[in-house]
């Protein structure tokens, strides 16, 4: 153990050593979740691998390799890449918004070398990296200084503004929540936190009035009274509730869900995939899935707490919270506790961008876990 610790500190661990050290229990749980997602995609396609399940399997396998690859890279390398990654993600975001404003309508994707890329997903990871790096060098007192706080808030606000312009309310929400959570964990003074929360309460009505798009407002209104217009705006959420509720205690059984198979569920393969799970596996299955998620998050918290550098701690908590916020917003959304904002359920929902982001995040988490002994001086900027 002492030798391992020494080797880790000196960055002389071999790839084999690193793989042996990976928390395979966590990897197993992640794979279980992704497996459940693939099973659901098989189910909502009426018991077919096409069009989603097979493709999602491939996406998961690619994501898995990315995760393992990312995990074996020294956490200090990620620290050095933090700012460039942030800069790149921001550039792509600006490009997407610019293209959108050139008359092609709302855009979320850029095509880079034949691959569709969603810069807002890239930004979630990049922001966590960049903020962790920025905050790594700051003591509790320094963080609460207006200049530093201003820089950190700027790092959050600038991408948030571009994402909301796309427009993509859900991702904006996650970016802002990720960033604020990191500031909080880094030790931001309560003297900042309490008044800010207070003023947000004041700002919300103003945002409602001047910032939100009509369809976003409609979603909020739907949330407030889904039954009022059950064939219109409230249709999605009404059908989602019927799917979840009709699952009852034990569920209708695998492939037994009628709401999705008969197309009553909207976006059944993406944002509303959890409702199909709840319909087929009932309360028992749904709670088991939530517990699975909670254990993964618990692992994440544990990894963060045992890391020896502030960067690694913040990075681990950043990606863990990112995962958690996905689950929270999606879960609250499909159960009609918050408005529909268009956030997928991580590992379950169909989609390559979200899968890659989440798996990349787990890769970083595992990198922190493997390199937990690495100490990084306060004023270091990484190793490359």
Site string for other proteins, 7-46 (x = CB under 8 A): ----------------------------------------
Query: Is residue 246 within the footprint of other proteins (CB under 8 A)?
Result: yes
Widest CA span in the chain: 66
What does the alpha-carbon distance between residue 11 and residue 142 come to, in Å, rounded to a whole number?
30
- The residues, ordered by sequence, that sit 6+ positions from 47 with a Cβ below 8 Å of its Cβ are 255
Q: Which helix (H) or strand (E) holds 246?
A: helix 235-246
2 forms part of the interface with other proteins (CB under 8 A): no
Residue holding tokens 């913040």? 314
Question: Can residue 94 be called a binding residue for other proteins (CB under 8 A)?
Answer: no
Least separation in angstroms between residue 300's CB and other proteins is: 10
Among the listed residues 23, 177, 332, 381, the single contact to other proteins using CB under 8 A: 332
**Residue number with CB closer to other proteins (92 or 135):** 135
Measured between alpha carbons, how far is 62 from 82 in angstroms, rounded to an integer? Answer: 23
Tally helices (H) and strands (E) across the chain.
16, 2
Rounded Cα–Cα distance for residues 326 and 170 (Å): 9
Q: Which of 41, 67, 317, 364 binds other proteins (CB under 8 A)?
A: 317
Q: Are 342 and 207 in contact (CB under 8 A)?
A: no
Contacts of 224 (CB under 8 A, 6+ apart): none
- Rounded to a whole number of angstroms, the minimum distance from the CB of residue 193 to other proteins is 10
In angstroms, give the least distance from the CB of 288 to other proteins.
Answer: 11
* Distance in Å, CB of 305 to other proteins, minimum: 6
Which residue lies nearer to other proteins by CB, 97 or 303?
Answer: 303
The one segment of 84-92, 170-178, 314-322, 339-347 that binds other proteins by CB under 8 A = 314-322
Which of 25, 84, 139, 253 binds other proteins (CB under 8 A)? It is: 139
The Cα 280–Cα 290 span in angstroms is 15
Q: 212 CB contacts (<8 Å, ≥6 apart)?
A: 169, 220
Q: Which two tokens stand for residue 279?
A: 């319909």
> Measured between alpha carbons, how far apart are the two ends of the chain, in Å?
27
Closest listed residue to residue 126, CA positions, set 165, 74, 178, 76: 178
Distance CA 148, CA 344 (A): 33
Quick one: which of 34, 244, 341, 364 contacts other proteins (CB under 8 A)? 244
73 counts as binding other proteins under rule CB under 8 A: no
Residue with Cβ nearer other proteins (87 or 295): 295
Answer yes or no whether residue 263 interacts with other proteins by CB under 8 A: yes
Identified binder of other proteins from the candidate list 276, 313, 341, 359, rule CB under 8 A: 313
Is residue 108 within 8 A of residue 121, CB to CB? The reply is no
* 273-312 binders of other proteins (CB under 8 A): 278-279, 282-283, 286-287, 290, 293-294, 297-298, 301, 304-305, 308, 310
Q: Does 375 bind other proteins (CB under 8 A)?
A: yes
Residue 362 within binding range of other proteins, rule CB under 8 A = no
241 touches other proteins (CB under 8 A): yes
SS3 313: helix
Please say which residue, 71 or 345, places its beta carbon nearer to other proteins: 345
Q: Where are the beta strands (DSSP E) in the chain?
A: 110-112, 115-117
Q: Which is nearer to other proteins, 81 or 374 (CB)?
A: 374
Instruction: Give the residues lining the site for other proteins (CB under 8 A).
Output: 139-140, 181, 184-187, 239, 241-249, 258-259, 261-264, 278-279, 282-283, 286-287, 290, 293-294, 297-298, 301, 304-305, 308, 310, 313-314, 317, 321, 324, 328, 331-332, 335, 337, 375, 378
């Amino acid at each position: 153990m002492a030798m391992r610790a020494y080797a880790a500190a000196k960055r002389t661990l071999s790839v084999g050593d690193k793989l042996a050290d990976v928390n395979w229990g966590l990897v197993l749980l992640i794979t279980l979740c992704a497996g459940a997602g693939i099973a659901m995609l098989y189910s909502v396609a009426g018991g077919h691998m096409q069009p989603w399940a097979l493709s999602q399997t491939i996406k998961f396998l690619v994501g898995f390799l990315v995760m393992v690859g990312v995990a074996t890279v020294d956490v200090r390398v990620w620290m050095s890449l933090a700012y460039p990654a942030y800069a790149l993600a921001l550039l792509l975001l600006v490009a997407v918004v610019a293209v959108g404003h050139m008359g092609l309508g709302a855009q979320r994707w850029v095509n880079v070398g034949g691959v569709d890329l969603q810069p807002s997903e890239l930004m979630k990871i990049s922001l966590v990296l960049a903020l962790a790096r920025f905050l790594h060098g700051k003591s509790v007192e320094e963080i609460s200084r207006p200049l530093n706080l201003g820089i950190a808030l700027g790092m959050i606000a600038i991408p948030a503004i571009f994402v909301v312009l796309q427009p993509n309310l859900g991702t904006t929400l996650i970016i802002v929540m990720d960033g604020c959570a990191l500031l909080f964990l880094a030790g931001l003074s309560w003297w900042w936190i309490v008044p800010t929360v207070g003023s947000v309460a004041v700002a919300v009505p103003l945002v409602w009035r001047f910032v939100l798009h009509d369809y976003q407002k409609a979603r909020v209104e739907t949330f407030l009274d889904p039954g009022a217009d059950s064939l219109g705006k409230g249709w999605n959420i009404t059908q989602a509730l019927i799917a979840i509720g009709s699952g009852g205690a034990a569920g209708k059984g695998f492939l037994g869900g009628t709401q999705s198979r008969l197309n009553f569920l909207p976006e059944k393969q993406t944002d509303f995939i959890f409702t199909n799970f709840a319909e087929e596996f009932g309360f028992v299955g749904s709670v088991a899935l939530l517990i699975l998620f909670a254990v993964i998050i618990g692992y994440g918290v544990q990894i963060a707490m045992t890391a020896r550098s502030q960067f690694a701690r913040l990075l681990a908590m950043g990606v863990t919270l990112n995962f958690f916020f996905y689950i929270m917003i999606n879960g609250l959304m499909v159960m009609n506790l918050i408005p529909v904002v268009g956030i997928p359920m991580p590992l379950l929902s169909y989609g390559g961008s979200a899968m890659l982001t989440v798996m990349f995040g787990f890769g970083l988490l595992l990198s922190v876990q493997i390199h937990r002994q690495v100490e990084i001086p306060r004023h270091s900027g990484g190793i490359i």
